[in-house]
Structure 1
Amino acid sequence: MQKQKACLSVVASLFLATNLYSQTEQIPQITVYGATKSEQSIKDVISNVEVITKEEIEERNFTTVTEALDTISGLSFTSNGGIGSSTSLFLRGMSSNRILVLVDGVNYKDPSSTSGALIQNLMISDIEKIEVIKGAQSGIWGADAAAGVINIITKKAKKGINSSINLEYGSYDTKKLNTFVSYGAEKYDVKLGVNLLKSTGFTNRIPDKHDDKNKYENDAYRNTTIDFATNYYFTDKSKIYFSLKDINSLSEYDSSNNPNNRELKSDSHTKLYNLAYFQKIKNHELSLSYELSKFKREELGTTSATSVLNFEGKKHNLEFKDTIFYRTKDFLTFGFGKTKDEVNYKQVNDNKDSKESKSNFIYMTNTNHIENLVFSQSFRYDKYDNFDNKLTGKVGLQYIFTNDFLIKTNYGTAYNVPNIMQELNPWGGGNDDVQPEKTKSFDIGFEYKDLSVTYFNSKVDNLIDWYDPDGYGGVDGVYTNVEGESRFKGFEIEYSKLLLKDTFVNFSYTHQSAKDSKGKDLTKRAKKLYKLSIDYYGLDKIHLNVNGQYIGDRVINDWTDGRVQTGKYAVVNSVVNYSLSKNTKVYVKLDNIFDRDYYSTYGYATAGRSAYLGLKYNF
C-alpha cells in the first residue's frame, strides 16, 4: 500500500499539470532512507512504511507537518488548542516519546521536554517528502524509535536558479508567507527557505465545546522558520554538506481555570545543525556526520513558584557510516558513534537543575534479495552511562508472489530510556529509579493490487507514565514505570484506487487497542480511525479534493469530571486548486466544513469552520 499511495499522489500531480493520462508513465521512483539508513526503492522496503510526497503536499496545501501526518493510517493527534498549541502524537497507540522525528537527519526530540518532539512548531517548508516507518526501529536508530520513525526530508537545490513563493490568508486572521530560492552550479549548490506564519487564533481553553469561542480572548501564534543548506562537491564522488534549520515561535495559552488569561506565552527557539562529509570508494558509500539540536524555551507570564521559567536542551550525535553494496541489489550498512543529551532549567523560585546522559553505539543492517524474497536484518548495541547496555534488533521478510500480490512481516525489539526531564521532574517529585522500557514489536500483512492489510502487535515492559496519587497535584506526581506488560495491537486496512482515469480514492481504517498490564485502556488513544480522501481531475486546470476522518471512542481522565469522552466525531475538509498558468496556481481550503464542535483534548478548543485563500508562483 505504501507503494500505491505514494505513486498515486505523483500521478495526481501530473494530472493537475497536464490533464493527460499518458503522462503517468513519467512517475519518478519513490525511495526511502529511514527504514535502513540507506536509500532504497520503496518496492524493496520490508518495513511498514508510508510516504507523503512533495506532490501530495503541493495538492493539499498543508500548513503544518501535523496536517500532513494526519493523512497517515494508524497515526493520530491530540492538541491543547489551535495552531501552535502543545500537540501529542500517537502511532499505533504509542505516544510521542517513543517516536523518533528526524529533520534532514537531525534528531528533533527535545530532551528538556517530557513529551517528545515539539511537532506543533514544524511548518511545511520546502519539504521533498515525509517518510513514516512504523514499528520498533531501535535496531537501526536507537532508543528514541520504539514506536517508529518520522523522517522529514527537505528539497535539494537543482541546477541553475529556482525559486517559489506561497502567500495565504484565511480564518482567525491567519497569514502565511513561504518562499524558497536555490542555486546549483558544478562545484556547489545552496538553498534558502523562509516561512512566516501569524495567526490571532482563538481561545486555547474552553469550558464547554459548544461555547462560542468569541466569548473569550484569542490565543495568538507566530512562527518564523528559516532553512539553509549547501553542498560543496570536491569530485563527483565526494562532497561536504551543511544545513541549518532555525525555528522561532511564540504561542499564547491559557491557565487551566482561566480562558481569558492574557499573560501566558511560550517562547521557543530551536536550531538544528548538520555537518557531514560523504565519499564514494568503489562499492562503498562512506559518511562522517555531526548533528546538533539546540532547544530553548521561556514560559512567559508563569507565576507559580515551582513552575519552570526556562528550559534548555541539547542533543549531540557524532557518527561514521559505511554502506557496502555487493551483488546486484544487496547491501550492508555498518556504523558507530556517540551521543550526548544535555538539559538545564530554572524555576520561578530560582531553583535550578541540570543533567546529561551519554551513550556509544554500533549497528549493522543487511539486506538480501533472493529471487522473489527480500530479507533484512538489523542489530544495534548501545552502551549507556546511566542505564544498562542493550542489544536491540529487527528482522524482516518480504515475498513477492506476483506483480499484484506480496506478503511481508517484521519483528523488532526496542529499548526506550527515560527522558532526562522525566527523571528530574521539576513539577513534582524526581525519580532516579525510572527504568528503561523494553518493547517487542511484530507486524504481518499483505498487499494485493490496491488493497493492503496489516496486523500489528507491540508489547512494552515497564511502560513509563505519569502517576499522580491524588489526581490533582496535592501530592507530588512522578514519572514511574507501569508494572507488567502493556500491549498495543490492532490492524490497518488501506485502499487506494484510480477510478475512471480522473478520480483518486484513498481510504484507511485502523482498529487499535492500547491497554496497560491490568487490561485497562490507556487514555487519549482512539480505538477506531477512518480516513478518506477523494481527488477529482476531470475539469480543465482544476483539481478538487474532499477529505475527512472519523475519530472513534477515545477517553481521557480528568481529575474533576472523571473519565471523559473526546472521540466519536467526524471532520470533513476540502481543497480546490486552479492553475492560472504553468507556474501559477490559486487555491481555496475549507476546513471543518460542517462546523463540528469537538474536543481532541478535554477542555481545549478546536477550530470551527475555516477558509483560506492562497497563491503559489514558481519562477
Structure 2
Amino acid sequence: MTRTLFCPSRTIPAAFAIGGVLLPLSSLAADDGTATSTAMLLPEISVTANRVPTAADATGSALTIITADDLQQRQTRILSDVLREVPGVAVNRTGPMGTLTQVRIRGAEGNQTLVLIDGIEVNDPASGSEYDFANLLAGDIERVEVLRGPQSALYGSDAVGGVVNIVTRRGSGAPSLSAAVEGGSFGTWAGRATAGTGNDRYDVAVSAQGVRSTGVSVADRRLGNGEKDGYRNGTLTAKAAVRPTGTTELAVVGRYTRFDSDTDGFTGGRGAVDDGTSTTGKQAFGRVQGKAVFLDGHWEHIAGLSYGRQQRNYRDARGQTTSTYEGRKTKLDYQTNLSFATGPAAHVLTAGVEHEDDTGITRSGYSNFDRTIGSTGLVGQYKLDLFDRLTLTGSVRRDGNDLFQDATTWRGTAAYRVEDTGTKLRASYGTGVKNPTLFELYGYTATYAGNPDLKPEKGRGWDIGADQALWGKRVVADATWFNQRIRDLITGTGRTSINMPGESRVQGLEVGLTVEPVDGLTLRGSYTWTEGEDSTGAELVRRPKHLASLNANYRFLEDRANANIGVVYNGRTSDWAYDSFYNRQPVSLTPYTLVNLSGSYTLTERVEAFGRIENLTNRHYQEVWTYGAAGRAGYLGLRLAL
C-alpha cells in the first residue's frame, strides 16, 4: 500500500460499504454511544483493495486513503481538488468550479476509472460511462480510497485504471447538529448542515450542502471572453442502518444533487467562446443492503440493490433546452465471505454474483436513442495470511454480456512485511476490460455516427513497490514502479469511433514521503512520472509527464489552531486543438503550480472560524485547450457544533 498521503488518522467509519461489503458486525457493536466523532478508532483498514476488510499494511495494491480530517484541514469544497495530491492521479477541469472534471489514474482514460459512492457505482451510462467529478461536494465525505491499477477482476468494466471509493459520514453517539457557512471571491456563498446519532443498534445521519457563485468565464478570459459564468449546486444525503441482532443489519442510503452551471460554446479554430449557454441537471442515487453473519462471525452474507439516475439538460442562450442526456444504472449484488484459520495461516474465501443494467437515453434535434445493456458477473477471491508477515490474494471474474463476448479477468497481489525494519514489499498484477459506451455504439450528431461493431478494450498491468518506515514511523517513504498496456483502445476519428490496432503503453514511477518532525506538524510530498503513448507512438493527451505535490499541516495552541499550505505542480501536457473544419492536431499546454493556504481557529467549544486563499500566486493556466481557470480567491467562514 502507498501511504504517502493522508494517513494521520487511524479511523474508519463503522458502516463502510463498498460494492455490497461492510465491516464485520462486531466492529459495529463497539460503539458505546458516547462518541461524538463520525468515525471509530480502529486500525487503518481498506475495504476497496480486496472487497473484504484488510489491514492497510497487508494490501499488495497501491492505495491512498483520504480522511475527513484531511479534507477539513485543506478546507476542500470540491473533492476533485484534493485528488490532485494523490500519486498517479491527473485531474482535468474544463474551466472553473462546476465544469466537466475528469480523473485519470496512471494514464488510463477517465471512463476507465470506476467511482463508487456508499457502495453505488456512479459512472454515467449516458456520458461515456464516466463519472463527472464537477458536482461532487466534499462536505459530507468521511473517507476516500483511491486504488490504482487494473481492478476488473474485482469490479468488472470501468475499473481498468483503478477505483475511487467514497464513503459519506454516518451517525454516531448522542444526537448532534453541526453547520458551516462561508463566503468570498467571485460572489461565492457556501454552506452545509449535518445531523446524526447512533449506537450499537442503529445509526442515522442527514446532511445538506450547497454552493452558489457568480463565477468567472469558462472560456479563457485572456482570449477575449469576459462573460461571467455562474454555478449553483445543492446536495442532500441521508443514510441509516438498523441492527436488530448482533449478527444482522439492514442499511439504506440516498443521495440527491441538483446543479445549474453556466457554460460557453466551442467553435473550430477558436475553441471555447462566450455564448451564454448553460447546463442543468440532477443526480439521484440509492442503495438498500442487508447483511447476516453466521458461524460466530466467520461466514458473512451481503445482498444489495443499487439504483442511479443522472440527467443533463443543455440549454441555449435563451434558456431553451436543446438536448437531454439521461443515464440509469440498476445493480443487484450478493457476496459471501468465509474466514477460517489453520495453524499459522488465515484464510478468507470470497464469492459473489452481480447483475447490472445500464441505460442511456438522449433526446435532441439530431440524436435520439434509448438503449440498455445488461451484464452478469461472477467473482471469486482467495486471501491468505501467513505468519502475520505475508499476505497473498488471487481473484478471478467472469462477465457475461448482452452484446459482447464474455470476458474473464484476473488479479494477484502480494505483500510482505518485515516488522524489525519497518519495511513492506508489495506487488500486483491484473487484467481489465472496458466495454464500449452506449454513445460510441449508437450515438450520433450532425458530424458523428456510432459504431456498433466496436470491441471491448482490454488492459493488463503490474506494479512493484516498497514502503519504509523510519524514526518510530515519524518518517514513511514509498516508491512504486508501474506498467500498463491497453489493446483495442477506442478512439474517435471525427466521424465515428474505432478500435486502434496494437497496444497503448503507459509506464511510470510514484514516489512519496511523509514526515512528522515534531508533534502537530505533518509534511507530505509526492511525485509521479508518467510516460504514455498510443499504438502509433503518439503522446496520450491530458496525461502530464510530471506531477508533484507538497502539503504541510500544523496544529498548535493545544490543537485550537490549524494552518495548512498545499502546493500542486502539473507539468507540461498535450491536448487537442481543432481547426474550423474540426480536424484536430496536438498542442502543448504550459505547466503550472498552484499554491493554497488555509487556517482555522477554535473560538469556543462550539464555534470555529476558518479561512483560505486559493491560487495564492494568481496563476493563469489552462487544463483543457482554450478553457480558463479562476485566479486568486479568498474565503472566510464559521463552523458551529450544537
1:417 to 435, 439, 464: 435
Structure 1, 557-566 or 191-200: larger mean CA deviation: 557-566
Q: 2:417 aligns with which of 389, 393, 400?
A: 400
Q: Which residue number in structure 2 is paired with residue 614 of structure 1?
A: 637
Distance in 2 (CA, whole Å) between partners of 1:375 and 1:82 is 44
Matched position secondary structure for 1:208:
helix
Which amino acid is 1:436 matched to?
A: P
Are 2:386 and 1:370 equivalent residues in the alignment? yes
Question: How far did 1:260 drift?
Answer: 3.3
Alpha-carbon contact 1:88-1:115 (below 8 Å) kept: no
Counterpart of 1:467?
493
Q: C-alpha distance in 2, partners of 1:195/1:93?
A: 33
**Relative to structure 1, is the Cα distance of residues 75 and 156 closer, same or farther in structure 2, using a 3 angstrom cutoff?**
same
Q: Distance in 1 between matches of 2:242 and 2:553?
A: 41
Does residue 180 in structure 1 map to residue 178 in structure 2? no
Q: 1:207 & 1:194 partners in 2: Cα distance? A: 33
Aligned residue for 1:483, secondary structure, equals coil
Deviations 1:380-433 (A, max 9, x none): 110001000011010001111235111100000001111112212322111011
1:147-194 CA distance string (max 9 Å, x none): 000000111111320221111111111111111101325643321110
Gaps of 5+ in 1: 12-25, 469-476
Confirm or deny: 8 A CA contact 1:425 1:478 kept in the other structure.
no
Where does residue 231 of structure 1 map in the other structure?
241
Q: Which residue of 1 aligns with 2:33?
A: none
TM-score, reference length from structure 2: 0.88
Code of the aligned partner of 1:330: H
Structure 2 counterpart of 1:482, from 500, 506, 525? 500
Q: 2:278 is matched by which residue type in structure 1?
A: K
Identify the residue that residue 566 of structure 1 maps to in structure 2: 589
* 1:492 alignment partner in structure 2: 510
1:473 paired residue number: none
TM-score by length of 1: 0.92
Measure the CA separation in 1 of the matches of 2:354 and 2:518. 52
1:455 aligns with 2:471: no
Within a 5 Å distance, the mapping from 1:525-564 to structure 2 comes to 525-539=543-557, 541-560=560-579, 562-564=585-587
Q: Is the 8 A contact 2:188 2:215 kept in 1?
A: yes
Counterpart of 1:286 (choices 296, 301, 309) is 301
Identity %, equivalent residues: 24
Distance in 2 of aligned mates of 1:229 and 1:535 = 31
Question: What is the CA deviation profile of residues 565-609 of structure 1, one whole-angstrom value per residue up to 9, with x for unaligned ones?
Answer: 223221111111212234332111111101011111111110100
Identify unmatched segments of 5+ residues in structure 2: 12-39, 470-475
**d(CA) in 2 for partners of 1:562 and 1:518?**
15
- Report the alpha carbon displacement of residue 29 of structure 1 after superposing the two structures with TM: 2.0
Q: Which amino acid aligns with 2:229?
A: D
Amino acid aligned to 2:335: K
Aligned counterpart, 2:361? 344
CA distance in 2 between partners of 1:347 and 1:408 (Å): 50
Match in the other structure for 2:616: 593
Match for residue 67 of structure 2? 53
Match of 1:85 in 2: 99
Correspondences of 1:143-542 after superposition (within 5 Å): 143-184=157-198, 187-206=201-220, 208=222, 216-257=226-267, 259-262=273-276, 264-282=277-295, 283-301=298-316, 309-327=323-341, 329-348=346-365, 351-371=367-387, 372-402=389-419, 403-427=421-445, 428-449=448-469, 450-468=476-494, 477-539=495-557, 541-542=560-561
CA separation in 2, counterparts of 1:367 and 1:615? Answer: 47
- SS state at 1:150 partner: strand
Structure 2 equivalent of residue 67 of structure 1: 81
The letter of the residue matching 2:562 is: H
Match of 1:256, SS?
A: strand
Number of aligned residue pairs: 590
1:258-301 CA deviation, whole Å, 9 max, x = no partner?
74322x11111111110111111111111110111111111112
* Equivalent-residue separation in structure 2 for 1:199 and 1:366 (angstroms): 50
Match of 2:27 in 1: none
- Tell me which moved more, 454-463 or 497-506: 497-506
In structure 2, relative to structure 1, the CA distance for the partners of 1:110 and 1:440 (3 Å cut) is same
- C-alpha displacement at 1:4, in angstroms? 5.8
Contact 2:5 2:512 in 1 (8 A): no
Aligned residues: CA RMSD: 2.1
Distance 1:329 1:4 in 2: 28
The separation in 1 between residues aligned to 2:573 and 2:274, in whole angstroms, is 28
